[in-house]
Structure 1
Amino acid sequence: MDDATTFVTIAGMAAVTYATRSGPLLFLAGRTLAPSAIRFLAHVPAAVLAALAAPALLRPQGQFDMSLDNAILWAGLAAFALALRTKGFFGPVALGMGLVAAVRFLSGA
């Protein structure tokens, strides 16, 4: 790939990213959203996080795995339970990482 193609590719990616992020802000500026839309939008971050986490938890080696050997799944479930209980972020992340690290250390993986 030559320099011109690289530049056009990066500039195009930047333009698309800018448009998708600034479009809603510009369109919704000064408008009041309906309460139902606000309730809907409040759930978007959790839905995005679940969409990102589910494949990592359920397919850690590229194949569906809900066995007892899937340490990432069980650490994720423990972290999720702690997150529900504490409504925190750092504690569940630390717990999940610690559990996966401990299982890998103890199993020699």
Structure 2
Amino acid sequence: MEVRWGILLIIIGAAIVTLIPRVLPLMLFSRIQIPDWGLRWLNHVPIAVMASLLAQELFMSGNKFSFTSNVLTILASLPSFAVAIITRSLLGTVIVGVVTMMLLRLFFS
């Protein structure tokens, strides 16, 4: 089997580009002490990212803000949010969301 040097360089470059954003912050933050307020602030980052992703999926349609075009998705998200808050189970949340969306599409589409 012949190795194409261009492809090999692309794979190595992709590995380096993927590795740098993961290793560099780890090396930097392992050597400094983050203050308590910074740690408390960092605890909110995953929640904010998830909320922005969900809001975009639920309330955006064709690069426009719209409640009416995603009514079924918004309705399916309500029991999913409830299960997520009560059980904190990712599997339970996904199952409830999929089943709810399936039933809503079965009866209203």
In structure 1, list runs of 5 or more residues that go unmatched: none
**Which residue of structure 1 aligns with residue 104 of structure 2?**
103
CA distance in 1 between counterparts of 2:70 and 2:57 reads 14
**Which residue of structure 2 aligns with residue 93 of structure 1?**
94
Superposition pairs for residues 36-75 of structure 1, below 5 Å? 36-59=37-60, 63-67=64-68, 70-75=71-76
CA distance in 1 between counterparts of 2:75 and 2:53 reads 17
- The structure number with the bigger radius of gyration is 2
Query: Are 1:34 and 2:35 an aligned pair?
Result: yes
In structure 2, list runs of 5 or more residues that go unmatched: none
CA distance in 1 between counterparts of 2:36 and 2:53 reads 27
Question: Residues 28-60 of structure 1: CA distance to partner in whole angstroms, max 9, x if unpaired?
Answer: 224332111111111121122122222111125
Tell me by how many angstroms 1:24 deviates: 0.8
Tell me by how many angstroms 1:97 deviates: 1.4
Distance 1:40 1:54, change over 3 A: same
| Alignment-mate amino acid for residue 89 of structure 1 | L
Tell me by how many angstroms 1:23 deviates: 0.6
More helix by share: 2
Do the aligned residues in 2 keep the contact of 1:60 with 1:72 (CA within 8 Å)? Answer: no
**Number of residue pairs matched by the alignment:** 106
Tell me by how many angstroms 1:68 deviates: 7.8
CA distance in 1 between counterparts of 2:17 and 2:63 reads 30
DSSP-derived class of the 1:29 partner: helix
RMSD: 2.6
Query: Are 1:79 and 2:80 an aligned pair?
Result: yes
DSSP-derived class of the 2:68 partner: coil
TM-score (norm 2): 0.74
